[in-house]
Structure 1
Amino acid sequence: MQPRPIDLATLAAMDTAEATRLLRGVREATLSGRRPPAGPRTEIEESWRRMLGRGADPDRERRAGLLPLEEIERRRNDSALREVLPVLREGLVSIAEAARHTMIVADSEGRLLWREGKASVLRKADAYGFVPGADLKEEFIGTNAVGTPLLTGRPLQVHAAEHFVSAYHSWTCAGAPITDPRDGRLIGVVNVSGPLSGIHPATLALVTSVARLAEAELRQRHYRTLERLRSVASPLLGRMSGRAVAVDADGWPAAVIGMPPPDRLPLPRSPADGPLWVPSLGMCTVEPLPGGWLVRVDGGGTGPAGPAARLVLDLSRPHHSSVTVSSGAGSWTQELSPRHAELLHTLARHREGRSAAELAGDLFGDRTRTVTVRAEMSRLRRHLAQVLASRPYRFADGVEVEVVPRLWHERPGVLP
């Protein structure tokens, strides 16, 4: 029987020295294969397992080179995180300073772009290498509340010896990922870090709440952008016949005529004027609009065919699977739910096709769950109409398929 995992509320109720000794005992026993006095939390144990799988030394500190100042400034200017810095500051800086902590904001590659706090705490952060331009990815500095949330997509608090690398055992941190609602991309992590005495079980909830406020701010900015595009596009569409939709730069519809409003269109980042194949609509003509694109549905053509059509199913990132379709008319990437990633992976392994019953058996071990399979396949084909065929479900003829396998270890069995 495995020992019960220790929780943060229990640690916070302990004397700092007592909590530190307990966590060190848990870490040393777990990493050496012995029975620990208490179990590590699941997300911490999973991160330790990943680090051991990479052959990392828990007693050796590693640091990547810092970014040059001009590259830090370029990333700051290009990052959507700049738009929500006031929200992050208002929600966290004063509280972090009161707890003798610092607020850290890192981009999607784990590079520290901003940090704020009292000078005394910033000097301590300097000693750990938490300075602008530092690389805080898990693969470099081990289990931490910047790099690990970037990898898993989940908020995390890491306290003392829960850090894989022993050099960080006098530090505590809580971080939450921030996703841009405009395109679903993970754009970074906001983190509160500091000395051990500042641990509080509510810190993670606070940081997570502020991250959600930042996402809400991005969403409101997006709505305002769509309203401006709608005011430009609606008079134009009102004079048109046929099917057409005005979308913003990220493919979100602002105005439509001749058809139900579509889901987000997976357009290339900078589509050229003229014919373009859109997975959910078929052949279209694309024209620029102020703040977006006018997409006219031509109604002709069946999409890409032959060796120029290529689909890449990327399963390499935990919780962030995607599919990219490329053809002579452009390239499109669509984020996938875990279930849709499983479906496409199964079809990639069975190019001859699978019936609904066979897919139900593959996914659930129950061939009778065909209603669920058909519903999920219908959702998938809404985005990949010209790539997926039915009766049986399969990739269309002439589509080259590549699978980028997962290179990480989470809970086994999530994907085949």
Structure 2
Amino acid sequence: MRAPRAGWGRALAGTGGRAAEAYAVPLAGLPPAADVPREVIGESWRRAEARGLDREGGRPRQVGVAELEWRRRTAGVGVLRDVLRDGLIPAEDSVPEHVVVVTDADGVVLWRDGHGAMLKAVDRIGLAEGASWSEDSAGTNGIGTALATGRPVGVYGDEHFLRTCRRWSCAAAPLTDPRDGRLLGVVNVTGPARTMPTISLAFVTAVGRVAESELRDRHWTAMGRLRAVAAPIMARVGGRALAVDEHGWAAAATGMVPPERVALPKSPAAGECVLPGLGTCALEPLPGGGWLVHIEPEECTPSPTRVVLDLTRPAAASLSVLGAAGRWSQPVSPRHAELLYLLGVHRAGLSSTALADALFGDPARTVTVRAEVSRLRRKFAGLLTHRPYRFCDEIDVQLRLPARPADLLPQSTAPAVLAARR
């Protein structure tokens, strides 16, 4: 084992508990380039200890066969399985001892690929199909920590919380839906700590981006098909109408400038409903999927009365809106979660300069802020106003925050969020 690096003791002073014990010596398998303390690992260890996980004898939870099949069908990463597997095949020539894993957003292993001997070896640590490798189940590891932070993560040797994993290293990258920023799952490569290359994290991150690009291409192709199907139908429609896909993305419009996306009911059905920002509408199914949305001309959009921003689940923020039109919820992207959090804390509002400073530490980045807030206002019509940017005065805003400040928006690097964690 290498001699301790300078600075480790100072950085970890006061950590306490088993996490301090793990950091008292260099981490086995840590890449030579990692010459600074790994705060992402320290924070993950603290989360694992707070949950009371058993480091010595703990094993990941396992879901049943029926639940595993259901997760495979509904996870949203199923269409990417072949893309991910094909993208990682070239690595086998240079890294023969590795296992490729695809999980869902809960960290449950949906599929894995690798050499037979390696699959048997990782069976011993519980890296099997149906096993949950979230931090709640297995503590610090590539899959769980990538899900918790929303960022690519490499976990090397003794950095793992479970002792059974100390001879292994892994690199994982989260997969997000480019349509709405929703977390879909993780792609992960695991191998022996002694042979796992330091390039694996960059490689897995690149493959994840290719997979997300494939999702984006499929989305645009599907939108083109929907537009072609809707065109002759909408030519006969009077008044205002939209053609949207099953996720609410607008493919075509008549009589109006289309919003980027419509917040459809959780289980849309043909007939009348109230849609945020549009008012009373009638939904009609389109051939091949999607909906034709007829907008009633005489109806005004009911004003929302209460907004709940839920940040209690790491990397899975959501916004719920309540009012005379009923209740609806939408997942929000990491950047929009940051913006909504800041506006929820500062009810009097923030200027674009103040938001740029809070988000980027650079008051000059007002163009980026204005573009993001503009997208946010289009998506959540009737909630936000400007000069300064803020929630509408008549709306009751509630923030649901994690029990531990350190768990607030773990993927965020915004200076204001970092200060709130402390």
> What's the TM-score, normalizing by structure 1?
0.81
Distance in structure 2 (CA, Å) of the matches to 1:350 and 1:81: 37
For the Cα contact (< 8 Å) 2:279–2:295, is it kept in 1? Answer: yes
The CA deviation at 1:348 is 3.9
Counterparts of 1:200-219 in structure 2, within 5 Å, are 200-219=197-216
Displacement of 1:100: 0.9
1:276 is displaced (CA, Å) by 3.3
What residue in structure 2 maps to residue 255 of structure 1?
252
> What is the aligned partner in structure 1 of residue 121 from structure 2?
124
Question: Do 2:8 and 2:36's aligned partners in 1 also have CA atoms closer than 8 Å?
Answer: yes
Structure 1 residues 115 and 26: CA distance shift in structure 2, 3 A? farther
Q: How many residues align?
A: 392
Superposition deviation, residue 269 in structure 1: 3.0
Offset of 1:103 from its aligned partner?
A: 0.9
Greater mean deviation of Cα atoms: 210-219 or 394-403: 394-403
Matched with 2:295 is: 297
Partner Cα distance (2:253, 2:230) in 1: 9
Please state if 1:159 is matched with 2:147. Answer: no
Matches of 2:375 and 2:217, distance apart in 1:
27
Judging changes above 3 Å, is the alpha-carbon distance between structure 1 residues 32 and 354 closer, same or farther for their aligned structure 2 residues? closer
- What is the match of residue 109 of structure 2? 112
Q: 1:45 aligns with which of 27, 42, 63?
A: 42
5+ residue gaps, structure 1: 1-17
Kept in 2: contact 1:159–1:173 (CA 8 A): yes
Secondary structure of the structure 1 residue equivalent to 2:131: coil
Deviation at 1:125, TM superposition (A): 0.4
Mapped pair 1:190 → 2:170? no
146, 151, 162: which one aligns with 1:149: 146
Displacement of 1:216: 1.8
Shift of 1:140: 2.2
Instruction: State the shift of 1:360 in Å.
Output: 5.7
Shift of 1:156: 1.2
Distance across 1 between alignment mates of 2:365 and 2:81:
46
Indicate how the Cα distance of structure 1 residues 318 and 67 shifts in structure 2: closer, same or farther if over 3 A, else same: closer
1:149-207 residue CA offsets vs partner (Å, 9 max, x unmatched): 11111111111112133321100111111112234211111111121232112111221
Shift of 1:118: 1.3
**Does residue 143 of structure 2 align to residue 140 of structure 1?**
no
8 A contact 2:306–2:395 mirrored in 1: yes
What letter is aligned with 2:224?
E
Using a 3 Å threshold, how does the CA distance of structure 1 residues 382 and 69 change in structure 2: closer, same or farther? same
Contact 1:268 1:330 in 2 (8 A): no
**Residue 331 of structure 1 aligns with which residue?**
328
SS of the residue 1:344 aligns to:
helix
Instruction: For 1:128 and 1:333, locate their aligned partners in 2 and report how far apart those are by CA, in whole Å.
Output: 37
Residues 334 and 124 of structure 1, relative CA distance in 2, 3 Å threshold = closer
Q: Aligned pair in 2 of structure 1 residues 406, 358: CA closer, same or farther (>3 Å)? A: farther
Residue of structure 2 aligned with 1:75, choices 71, 75, 82: 71
Q: 2:31 corresponds to which residue?
A: none
- Give the residue type in structure 2 aligned to 1:153: G
* 1:284 counterpart = 2:281: yes
How far does residue 243 in structure 1 lie from its aligned partner after superposition? 2.3
User: Structure 2 CA distance, aligned partners of 1:189 and 1:330?
Assistant: 31
Q: Distance in 2 between matches of 1:84 and 1:377?
A: 31
Measure the CA separation in 1 of the matches of 2:367 and 2:135: 40
Q: Output the CA distance in 2 between the equivalents of 1:361 and 1:201.
A: 35
Separation in structure 2 between the aligned mates of residue 147 and residue 112 of structure 1, nearest angstrom: 11
Which residue number corresponds to residue 20 of structure 2?
Answer: 32
Report the AA paired with residue 223 of structure 1: W
Q: Against the structure 1 CA distance between its residues 188 and 362, is the aligned structure 2 distance closer, same or farther, given a 3 Å change threshold?
A: closer
Deviations 1:323-381 (A, max 9, x none): 1224445514141444x445534554566x44749976995899999988766554433
Q: Which amino acid aligns with 1:113?
A: L
Once the two structures are TM-superposed, the CA of residue 265 in structure 1 deviates from its matched residue by 1.7
Paired amino acid for 1:138: E
Aligned to 2:165: 168
Match of 2:32 in 1: none
Q: AA paired with 2:140?
A: T
1:100 to 97, 101, 115: 97
Q: What CA distance in whole angstroms lies between the structure 1 residues aligned with 2:290 and 2:249?
A: 9
For residue 241 of structure 1, what is the aligned residue in structure 2? 238
Code of the aligned partner of 1:385: A
SS, match of residue 146 in structure 1 = helix
Question: What CA distance in whole angstroms lies between the structure 1 residues aligned with 2:365 and 2:205?
Answer: 36
CA distance in 2, matches of 1:385, 1:265: 10
Rounded Cα–Cα distance in structure 1 between residues aligned with 2:297 and 2:390: 23
Q: Find the aligned partners of 2:58 and 2:52 in 1 and give their Cα distance.
A: 13
In 2, the alpha carbon distance for the partners of 1:341 and 1:297 equals: 29
Alignment of 1:262-411 (within 5 A): 262-290=259-287, 291-305=289-303, 309-327=305-323, 328-329=325-326, 331-338=328-335, 340-349=336-345, 353-354=348-349, 356=351, 363=358, 377-389=373-385, 395-396=391-392, 399-407=395-403, 408=407, 410=410
Distance 1:366 1:131 in 2: 45
Letter in 2 for 1:146: I
RMSD after superposition: 3.6
Q: Structure 1 stretch 380-389 or stretch 194-203: which is displaced more?
A: 380-389
- Whether 1:414 aligns to 2:402 is no
Q: Distance in 2 between matches of 1:39 and 1:393?
A: 39
Shift of 1:293: 0.9
Q: 1:236 to 1:389 in 2, by over 3 A?
A: same
Partner of 1:229: 226
Q: Partners of 1:329 and 1:182 in 2: how far apart?
A: 25
